[in-house]
Structure 1
């Protein structure tokens, strides 16, 4: 009874604030116009062409879509005659779904977690099973789905200590939401312990590994690699600064100018994390007095080009293959970093800043296996970064060792996708 009251209050709060939520989306659309498009899907109005009665898989944004690729591919193979609907919550995630899967999956936005919206959504889709990822917990939608006896599966479960602090304050709402899942597959024992501490059922909570390890070089990546290689026209050496955030670019550009003193032929490939910042980063490059070309212009680089701005989506993996050294953005402040496994797949040496909180366990493994260089928060970051990049440029043997160690970690930890598909198959068979 206490939970039902809490859920009712939660639903009423969101319903009352629906106009505010729509205004927030419209405000976001001033920088990214896609946020004001397809608003009807946010309200639960699924496009008419979407077929019901299939499997629904939710990935919040770009990173989650990428991590789910191997899992989705296996689901499509296992259930060739079952509609598979992949939902996201961001426009960039939506674009990534279209790039990766085209018309092999159905796609729409997950609606706002408001009772009328989720009711319309579930009525239209009538899924046989629903799969969520990491910490995607939508109490209203989960409760409704469980009430309809729809099997619910949480894969790649992730619950950090920081998240625990927030969720504990909402345990009256989050704990019952966790208990709606028929199965929870955490990434590791530490994450499983955190789910259990928050009230997950031990019988349904089994470690499966991390989906992010299940990456491979697909034909699409190889095709993009060939296209990028043609435009790069054999430029070497190549330093990629990937998934950069506000403040990262200034650091990278300052470091690049230091490196050019000894290595003037160095090409910097700059890849901002968010598309709405592409133009701003382009201006930063120009203001720094650097020669820059945009990838979107599809122009072949010449020897005088210093910065190549990758202002496109879905090409970072292919760019990693053509790099010599990789620096991951979002690690120099309090963003928490991004996935180091993708450059590791191509045996590339990786340098990160002091904050890899979003990938703490993966980073710890990389550190143990001498597969990454991490900068200190106590010293001048630009000087450290310039020194480490120069060391790797001057020592191909050290760069190769780092890359080989990272690649070995990826190979040794694959298999979570298969385990997740097996659990999904079991849940669907039990329902049938």
Structure 2
């Protein structure tokens, strides 16, 4: 009874928030026009797509989760070519990644907001899937309840639960615990994540520790060659560092760091890649206002000796830009966002610098810091000093790179562990 009351208040609050959801879509649309499109899908209105064969449904909220889901989707398409796949996302960047990688070979719509009537319309249009795979920690209360009513198995894949999120969920335990208990299986990234789920009331038999499938990333064969060709345009022997997936407030800090680095290394070049495309123009203008000569990747100009900042304003090319760098600074960590994935630069053998806020990847960062692949700092002077130390010591960088690649290699295999948990249900 307590759960039904919690769910009633949760659902009522959602309906009251509809005007704010609309305002948010309008506001975000000023920066990314795609937010003004396909509103019907967000409320369960789209053309009927019920396939003759029950399909596999995978939900990846945004670009990062979609990127992690790609190898899993590719495996499923190879081994089960006759089973259709539906991929849902919440953001335009996630949607664009689906289409860029898979084209029309998978079905795709936005995931509706968590309204019971939206789920009713959604399932009327898609039929009954074989199973739902939720990437990372997407806990939509009414969605999971709707799947339980229709006897649809729900898997939480590559699941992570930070200590901060777990404390928040404890405050609404009456809602979250029954929701988690409805899940068929939770594939947690590590034992700490698994234990937090169990503290919230999940049956230990539901939880499996599989590792993070982000360790199983695939590096394209031509990546190094492409990176060398691009880097050659900037001039030989220039020290290059990348600041990737940056958020508001971080670019200003990192450009001040860059100014300090150039006092020691005047030819140094910065590759700057903001996290969200709706901020590209704003950040590019800020760089120019600070007196830096920038070259925008989207303008097909590769840059030259006069380029100070090579600006990554395209989607799906972060691996290439990492491959162009000597050192990586991973954003979302100098402001309280929680940090972003450090495994991509590690797989490419790059030393990693991060800020203090890494709760999204706390376990991975602990291991990277312990083996000397990553360093964590609070202040910009510390970041500048570390960059100068690494950029002037290539032999040390090579040794760190070897440790980083070994770390990735030793932790591979999560994708197949997850895959073998899913396939019996197919």
Q: Name the TM-score, length of structure 2 as normaliser.
A: 0.94
Give, in whole Å, the separation in 2 of the partners of 1:290 and 1:6. Answer: 53
Give, in whole Å, the separation in 1 of the partners of 2:110 and 2:407. Answer: 34
Given candidates 270, 281, 301, the residue that maps to 1:279 is 281
> Cα distance, 1:342 vs. partner?
0.1
Q: 1:93 to 1:143 in 2, by over 3 A?
A: same
Per-residue CA shift, 1:376-421, capped at 9, x if unaligned?
A: x3xxx22212211111111111111222111111111111111111
In structure 1, the partner of 2:44 is 44
After superposition, residues 48-197 of structure 1 pair within 5 angstroms as: 48=48, 51=51, 53-125=54-126, 126-197=128-199
Give, in whole Å, the separation in 2 of the partners of 1:137 and 1:23. Answer: 23
Q: 1:50 to 1:409 in 2, by over 3 A?
A: farther
| Equivalent position SS for 1:60 | coil
Q: 1:221 to 1:26 in 2, by over 3 A?
A: farther
Q: CA RMSD in A?
A: 2.0
Residues 182, 427 of structure 1: 8 Å contact kept = no
Q: 1:217 to 1:17 in 2, by over 3 A?
A: same
Given candidates 317, 320, 323, the residue that maps to 1:321 is 323
> Cα distance, 1:291 vs. partner?
0.9
1:18 aligns with 2:18: yes
Residues 227, 320 of structure 2: 8 Å contact kept = yes
Give, in whole Å, the separation in 2 of the partners of 1:232 and 1:252. Answer: 20
Q: 1:202 to 1:246 in 2, by over 3 A?
A: same
Residues 350, 402 of structure 1: 8 Å contact kept = no
After superposition, residues 363-374 of structure 1 pair within 5 angstroms as: 363-374=365-376
Give, in whole Å, the separation in 1 of the partners of 2:19 and 2:332. Answer: 32
> Cα distance, 1:232 vs. partner?
4.9
In structure 2, the partner of 1:407 is 405
Residues 294, 309 of structure 1: 8 Å contact kept = yes
Residues 235, 303 of structure 1: 8 Å contact kept = no
Give, in whole Å, the separation in 1 of the partners of 2:215 and 2:14. Answer: 36
In structure 1, the partner of 2:261 is 259
In structure 2, the partner of 1:389 is 387
| Equivalent position SS for 1:388 | helix
Per-residue CA shift, 1:181-220, capped at 9, x if unaligned?
A: 1111111111111101111121111111111111121358
Residues 247, 335 of structure 2: 8 Å contact kept = no
> Cα distance, 1:31 vs. partner?
2.1
Per-residue CA shift, 1:49-72, capped at 9, x if unaligned?
A: 574721111111111111222222
Which segments of 5 or more consecutive residues in structure 2 lack a partner in the other structure?
Answer: none
In structure 2, the partner of 1:420 is 418
> Cα distance, 1:13 vs. partner?
3.1
Query: Aligned residues, how many?
Result: 424
| Equivalent position SS for 2:209 | coil
The 10-residue stretch of structure 1 (401-410 or 222-231) with the greater mean CA deviation from structure 2 = 222-231
> Cα distance, 1:229 vs. partner?
5.0
Residues 233, 305 of structure 2: 8 Å contact kept = no
| Equivalent position SS for 1:217 | coil
Give, in whole Å, the separation in 1 of the partners of 2:23 and 2:303. Answer: 42
Give, in whole Å, the separation in 1 of the partners of 2:423 and 2:249. Answer: 45
The 10-residue stretch of structure 1 (76-85 or 255-264) with the greater mean CA deviation from structure 2 = 255-264
Per-residue CA shift, 1:257-307, capped at 9, x if unaligned?
A: 222233222111110111111111111111111111111111131111111
In structure 2, the partner of 1:214 is 216
Which segments of 5 or more consecutive residues in structure 1 lack a partner in the other structure?
Answer: none
